[in-house]
Protein backbone atom coordinates (compact mmCIF):
# COMPACT_ATOMS: atom_id res chain seq x y z
CA UNK A 1 0.00 0.00 0.00
CA UNK A 2 2.73 2.58 0.81
CA UNK A 3 4.34 1.91 -2.57
CA UNK A 4 1.00 2.54 -4.29
CA UNK A 5 0.68 5.83 -2.42
CA UNK A 6 4.19 6.84 -3.42
CA UNK A 7 3.49 5.93 -7.05
CA UNK A 8 0.33 8.05 -7.03
CA UNK A 9 2.26 10.94 -5.48
CA UNK A 10 4.97 10.68 -8.13
CA UNK A 11 2.32 10.56 -10.85
CA UNK A 12 0.69 13.73 -9.53
CA UNK A 13 4.09 15.41 -9.27
CA UNK A 14 4.97 14.39 -12.81
CA UNK A 15 1.64 15.68 -14.10
CA UNK A 16 2.22 19.03 -12.36
CA UNK A 17 5.69 19.31 -13.90
CA UNK A 18 4.31 18.61 -17.37
CA UNK A 19 1.21 20.79 -17.15
CA UNK A 20 2.25 23.56 -14.76
CA UNK A 21 1.48 26.24 -17.36
CA UNK A 22 -2.16 25.19 -17.51
CA UNK A 23 -2.36 25.56 -13.72
CA UNK A 24 -0.14 28.54 -12.95
CA UNK A 25 -1.14 30.97 -15.70
CA UNK A 26 -4.81 30.99 -14.62
CA UNK A 27 -3.69 31.29 -10.99
CA UNK A 28 -1.62 34.33 -11.90
CA UNK A 29 -4.70 35.98 -13.40
CA UNK A 30 -6.85 35.53 -10.30
CA UNK A 31 -5.88 38.94 -8.81
CA UNK A 32 -7.10 40.68 -11.98
CA UNK A 33 -10.39 38.81 -11.84
CA UNK A 34 -10.76 39.60 -8.15
CA UNK A 35 -10.17 43.32 -8.78
CA UNK A 36 -12.77 43.32 -11.56
CA UNK A 37 -15.26 41.58 -9.25
CA UNK A 38 -14.57 44.10 -6.48
CA UNK A 39 -15.03 46.97 -8.92
CA UNK A 40 -18.36 45.62 -10.13
CA UNK A 41 -19.61 45.22 -6.57
CA UNK A 42 -18.45 48.60 -5.26
CA UNK A 43 -15.75 47.15 -3.01
CA UNK A 44 -12.84 49.34 -4.12
CA UNK A 45 -13.57 52.30 -1.87
CA UNK A 46 -14.38 55.92 -2.57
CA UNK A 47 -12.05 56.17 -5.60
CA UNK A 48 -12.46 52.80 -7.34
CA UNK A 49 -10.75 53.75 -10.61
CA UNK A 50 -7.60 54.90 -8.81
CA UNK A 51 -7.54 51.80 -6.59
CA UNK A 52 -8.13 49.51 -9.58
CA UNK A 53 -5.41 51.17 -11.65
CA UNK A 54 -2.85 51.26 -8.83
CA UNK A 55 -3.57 47.66 -7.82
CA UNK A 56 -2.94 46.42 -11.36
CA UNK A 57 0.33 48.36 -11.42
CA UNK A 58 1.34 46.88 -8.08
CA UNK A 59 0.70 43.34 -9.34
CA UNK A 60 2.76 44.11 -12.45
CA UNK A 61 5.63 45.23 -10.21
CA UNK A 62 5.27 42.12 -8.01
CA UNK A 63 5.54 39.75 -10.95
CA UNK A 64 8.45 41.75 -12.37
CA UNK A 65 10.29 41.37 -9.06
CA UNK A 66 9.47 37.66 -9.02
CA UNK A 67 10.94 37.31 -12.51
CA UNK A 68 14.12 39.15 -11.49
CA UNK A 69 14.45 37.05 -8.34
CA UNK A 70 14.71 33.68 -10.11
CA UNK A 71 18.32 33.99 -11.29
CA UNK A 72 19.71 35.16 -7.89
CA UNK A 73 17.67 32.44 -6.21
CA UNK A 74 19.48 29.80 -8.25
CA UNK A 75 22.86 31.51 -7.95
CA UNK A 76 22.88 32.13 -4.21
CA UNK A 77 20.46 29.55 -2.82
CA UNK A 78 20.80 26.75 -5.35
CA UNK A 79 17.03 26.73 -5.99
CA UNK A 80 16.39 26.40 -9.71
CA UNK A 81 13.01 27.87 -10.65
CA UNK A 82 14.14 29.40 -13.94
CA UNK A 83 11.42 27.50 -15.77
CA UNK A 84 9.00 30.04 -14.28
CA UNK A 85 10.84 33.07 -15.68
CA UNK A 86 8.63 33.17 -18.78
CA UNK A 87 5.52 32.79 -16.62
CA UNK A 88 6.38 35.63 -14.25
CA UNK A 89 7.63 37.86 -17.06
CA UNK A 90 4.48 37.43 -19.12
CA UNK A 91 2.27 38.00 -16.09
CA UNK A 92 4.20 41.21 -15.35
CA UNK A 93 3.54 42.33 -18.92
CA UNK A 94 -0.13 41.28 -18.66
CA UNK A 95 -0.71 43.35 -15.52
CA UNK A 96 1.32 46.29 -16.84
CA UNK A 97 -0.84 46.30 -19.98
CA UNK A 98 -4.02 46.19 -17.89
CA UNK A 99 -2.61 49.00 -15.75
CA UNK A 100 -2.11 51.16 -18.85
CA UNK A 101 -5.53 50.21 -20.25
CA UNK A 102 -7.16 51.24 -16.97
CA UNK A 103 -5.26 54.55 -17.11
CA UNK A 104 -6.25 55.16 -20.75
CA UNK A 105 -9.82 53.92 -20.64
CA UNK A 106 -11.10 54.34 -17.10
CA UNK A 107 -9.02 57.24 -15.85
CA UNK A 108 -9.07 59.37 -19.02
CA UNK A 109 -11.95 57.89 -21.01
CA UNK A 110 -9.81 57.55 -24.15
CA UNK A 111 -9.38 61.32 -24.34
CA UNK A 112 -6.35 61.25 -26.61
CA UNK A 113 -5.63 64.97 -26.26
CA UNK A 114 -5.27 64.70 -22.49
CA UNK A 115 -3.41 61.41 -22.83
CA UNK A 116 -0.90 62.90 -25.27
CA UNK A 117 -0.25 65.76 -22.88
CA UNK A 118 0.33 63.27 -20.04
CA UNK A 119 2.58 61.02 -22.10
CA UNK A 120 4.75 63.89 -23.32
CA UNK A 121 4.85 66.13 -20.24
CA UNK A 122 4.41 64.09 -17.04
CA UNK A 123 7.75 62.53 -16.17
CA UNK A 124 6.50 59.53 -14.20
CA UNK A 125 4.01 58.69 -16.97
CA UNK A 126 6.81 58.85 -19.54
CA UNK A 127 8.89 56.44 -17.43
CA UNK A 128 6.01 54.01 -17.00
CA UNK A 129 5.21 54.00 -20.71
CA UNK A 130 8.90 53.53 -21.54
CA UNK A 131 9.07 50.52 -19.23
CA UNK A 132 6.05 48.97 -20.97
CA UNK A 133 7.57 49.62 -24.40
CA UNK A 134 10.73 47.77 -23.33
CA UNK A 135 8.66 44.82 -22.12
CA UNK A 136 6.76 44.46 -25.41
CA UNK A 137 9.59 42.79 -27.41
CA UNK A 138 10.33 40.54 -24.43
CA UNK A 139 6.72 39.36 -24.31
CA UNK A 140 6.59 38.83 -28.08
CA UNK A 141 9.76 36.72 -28.08
CA UNK A 142 9.02 34.70 -24.94
CA UNK A 143 8.65 31.45 -26.83
CA UNK A 144 10.83 28.55 -27.89
CA UNK A 145 10.70 29.47 -31.59
CA UNK A 146 12.13 32.94 -30.95
CA UNK A 147 14.89 31.45 -28.81
CA UNK A 148 15.87 29.07 -31.65
CA UNK A 149 15.74 31.74 -34.35
CA UNK A 150 17.48 34.53 -32.42
CA UNK A 151 20.06 32.37 -30.60
CA UNK A 152 22.51 34.65 -28.76
CA UNK A 153 20.58 37.75 -29.74
CA UNK A 154 17.62 36.45 -27.74
CA UNK A 155 19.57 36.55 -24.49
CA UNK A 156 20.90 40.03 -25.31
CA UNK A 157 17.38 41.27 -26.07
CA UNK A 158 15.98 39.90 -22.84
CA UNK A 159 18.48 41.90 -20.82
CA UNK A 160 16.10 44.77 -21.49
CA UNK A 161 14.22 43.57 -18.44
CA UNK A 162 16.80 45.35 -16.28
CA UNK A 163 16.37 48.89 -17.69
CA UNK A 164 12.62 48.19 -17.81
CA UNK A 165 12.72 47.32 -14.11
CA UNK A 166 14.67 50.49 -13.28
CA UNK A 167 12.16 52.64 -15.18
CA UNK A 168 9.26 50.80 -13.56
CA UNK A 169 10.83 51.29 -10.13
CA UNK A 170 11.21 55.05 -10.60
CA UNK A 171 7.66 55.24 -11.96
CA UNK A 172 6.47 53.26 -8.94
CA UNK A 173 8.27 55.60 -6.53
CA UNK A 174 7.04 58.78 -8.21
CA UNK A 175 3.46 57.52 -8.26
CA UNK A 176 3.61 57.33 -4.45
CA UNK A 177 5.72 60.52 -4.25
CA UNK A 178 7.34 59.22 -1.04
CA UNK A 179 8.74 56.15 0.63
CA UNK A 180 6.10 54.55 2.83
CA UNK A 181 5.12 51.14 4.17
CA UNK A 182 3.87 50.13 0.71
CA UNK A 183 6.52 51.50 -1.63
CA UNK A 184 9.67 51.07 0.49
CA UNK A 185 9.73 47.22 0.70
CA UNK A 186 9.18 46.82 -3.05
CA UNK A 187 11.83 49.39 -3.96
CA UNK A 188 14.26 47.83 -1.49
CA UNK A 189 13.63 44.43 -3.09
CA UNK A 190 14.27 45.88 -6.54
CA UNK A 191 17.51 47.52 -5.40
CA UNK A 192 18.68 44.23 -3.85
CA UNK A 193 17.87 42.21 -6.98
CA UNK A 194 19.68 44.68 -9.23
CA UNK A 195 22.66 44.67 -6.87
CA UNK A 196 22.75 40.86 -7.05
CA UNK A 197 22.89 41.15 -10.82
CA UNK A 198 25.95 43.41 -10.59
CA UNK A 199 27.94 41.13 -8.26
CA UNK A 200 30.81 39.35 -10.04
CA UNK A 201 30.44 35.63 -10.57
CA UNK A 202 32.70 33.32 -8.64
CA UNK A 203 35.54 31.75 -10.55
CA UNK A 204 35.73 28.00 -10.18
Give me the residues of the chain with pLDDT under 70, please: 1-19, 201-204
- 69 assigned to some structural domain: yes
Number of domains comprising the chain? 1
pLDDT of residue 21: 75
- 22 assigned to some structural domain: no
- 111 assigned to some structural domain: yes
pLDDT of residue 173: 94
Q: Are 71 and 82 spatial neighbours (Cβ–Cβ below 8 Å)?
A: yes
Q: What is the pTM of this model?
A: 0.89
Distance CA 61, CA 188 (A): 13
Distance CA 191, CA 197 (A): 10
pLDDT of residue 204: 44
Q: Are 35 and 55 spatial neighbours (Cβ–Cβ below 8 Å)?
A: yes
- 108 assigned to some structural domain: yes
Note down the domain range covering 73. Answer: 47-198
- 140 assigned to some structural domain: yes
- 80 assigned to some structural domain: yes
- 125 assigned to some structural domain: yes
pLDDT of residue 22: 79
pLDDT of residue 6: 46
Amino acid sequence: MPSEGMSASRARSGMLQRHWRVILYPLGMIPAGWLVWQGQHGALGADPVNVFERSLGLWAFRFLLACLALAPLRRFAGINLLRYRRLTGLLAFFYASLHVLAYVGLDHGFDWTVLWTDITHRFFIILGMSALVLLIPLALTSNALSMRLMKRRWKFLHRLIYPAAVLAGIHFFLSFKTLNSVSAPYLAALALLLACRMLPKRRV
